[in-house]
Structure 1
Amino acid sequence: MSLFKHHVRIETNVLLLAVGTLITVSIGGLVEVAPLFSIESTIEKVDGVRPYSPLEQAGRDIFVREGCYNCHSQMIRPFKDEAERYGHYSLAAESKYDHPFQWGSKRTGPDLARVGGKYASDWHVRHLIDPRAVVPDSIMPGYPHLLRPLDYHDIGTRLRALRVVGVPYDDQAIADAARDLEAQATADPTASPPPVAARYPRLRLGRAVEAAADAPVTEMDALVAYLQVLGTMVDFSRIDPAPLRR
């Protein structure tokens, strides 16, 4: 009863309640934050994760510009039902070069964290132009305007800005950004890979939309290149899966 009386006194006194709340939040914050200072990084080191190529980064910028993240998340939660539907749960390392990350807050459409290589590029093109042509029940709007030429005059500047926030693009990658973008988009996948393939391993070469060799690179080429790289950088056969919760 005595303890209850003191509790009532705290709840009815604004100053005491504020001080008590501050102390409680401070203790909770220390418990959460303090252990992080004892580890080198909160992101595990995973082989294969690399910065996006210039073409992929341009496609990612279009993904953000068009608001695709409003309906499609890029984070598979560590639950059995999610892993069975989408694949291996997402690793923190996979998002370390994402600015901003595309985890999303809901899924009107399916998660895209493992969409790379799941469909052919021409499937993505048809889906983006007219979603119901390949998914009859889709409520996704069409994006035929992505067939217009891609404006990438500032792609080197974009890579330089990303380097400021920690993405490890070197001076040569920034200087060659426009040439690398064109080389990836216009390369013949059946021929010897261009130098850009050595700089960005697991690179998908070629256009999304069949076109003449001298045709301009399109926004569709860039967006599909980005979609096709999602989930393909890490060899998950070499990752020990933790127990998944139902």
Structure 2
Amino acid sequence: MFGLHYRLERKAIGLTLGIIFVASIGGLVEIAPLFTIHQTVEDVPDMRVYTPLELAGRNIYIREGCYACHSQMIRTLRDEVERYGPYSLAVESKYDHPMLWGSKRTGPDLARIGNKYSDEWHVAHLNNPRNVLSVSVMPAYSWLLKTTLRTHDLGAHLKAQRTVGVPYNDDMIANASKDAYGQAAPDSRYTDGVTQRYGKATNVRAFDGKPGELTEMDALVAYLQVLGHLTDAAKKTVANDAR
């Protein structure tokens, strides 16, 4: 075996071809499953898409690097299920581009953080984590409460998501900016349009406590509050496993 390797080292072309061949095996293992992704990921009738406000919050979550410390993948291990809830299903990240699965946790897993805490708790925690947990090592994101959310290009964000398979329709894209405002301003004239397009179960409220302003804090809290609630598939899976 070593003799073959030594002979290859003397021939640059042969060594290069050998490296390409070995590297291609790993690439094939990673790429091949993508061709059967539609058979791998389940279809569930109650799966819903992110609203424009929630999608904007997800973009902020990625922008601020929150994924580097918080995974969104509960594994099937007993201690994880007991702490975080039902294990994660592929379909729950069906409309996540990019998806945020992973195992790196400086902070807790957030796959099912939605509605676990109040909006006020999230605002206080993001504004200064030490006010909620004195030993927290999480940085403060106080500027989110002061920064107006950019909404004029949300339609383009939805349109880009549609090109990769998220079923946003033309009406959703055309009204993206209005729907973002309407979701965080429950008394506005745009609120009804949000529930008509995204369902009555959509969270509609002033997430940052200031209904007259649309901030990045509104968007991020709206996103956090929907995690684990895009579908009830996980709960149904647990119920079926228990039978």
- Please indicate, yes or no, whether the TM-score normalized by the shorter chain is above 0.5: yes
Aligned to 1:144: 142
Distance 1:104 1:33, change over 3 A: closer
User: How far is the alpha carbon of 1:135 from its aligned partner?
Assistant: 1.3
User: Does the alignment pair 1:220 with 2:217?
Assistant: yes
Distance 1:167 1:233, change over 3 A: same
1:153-168, aligned counterparts within 5 Å?
153-168=152-167
Given that residues 150 and 216 in structure 1 are in contact (C-alpha distance below 8 angstroms), is that contact kept between their aligned partners in structure 2? no
Aligned to 1:233: 230
1:67-82, aligned counterparts within 5 Å?
67-82=65-80
User: How far is the alpha carbon of 1:239 from its aligned partner?
Assistant: 2.1
Counterpart of 2:135, as a letter, is D
Aligned to 1:97: 95
Distance 1:13 1:84, change over 3 A: farther
Instruction: Let me know the Cα RMSD of the aligned residues.
Output: 3.0
User: How far is the alpha carbon of 1:42 from its aligned partner?
Assistant: 1.3
Aligned to 1:125: 123
Aligned to 1:203: 202
User: How far is the alpha carbon of 1:47 from its aligned partner?
Assistant: 3.2
- Higher relative helix content: 2
Give 1 or 2 for the bigger CA radius of gyration: 1
Aligned to 1:65: 63
How many residues end up aligned between the 2 structures? 235
Residues 44-80 of structure 1 show CA distances to partners (whole Å, capped at 9, x for unaligned) of 1123222110000010111011110110011111211
Given that residues 76 and 83 in structure 1 are in contact (C-alpha distance below 8 angstroms), is that contact kept between their aligned partners in structure 2? yes
Structure 1 runs (4+) deviating above 4 angstroms are 3-40, 240-244
Provide structure 1 residue ranges, at least 5 long, that are not aligned to the other structure. none
User: Does the alignment pair 1:114 with 2:112?
Assistant: yes
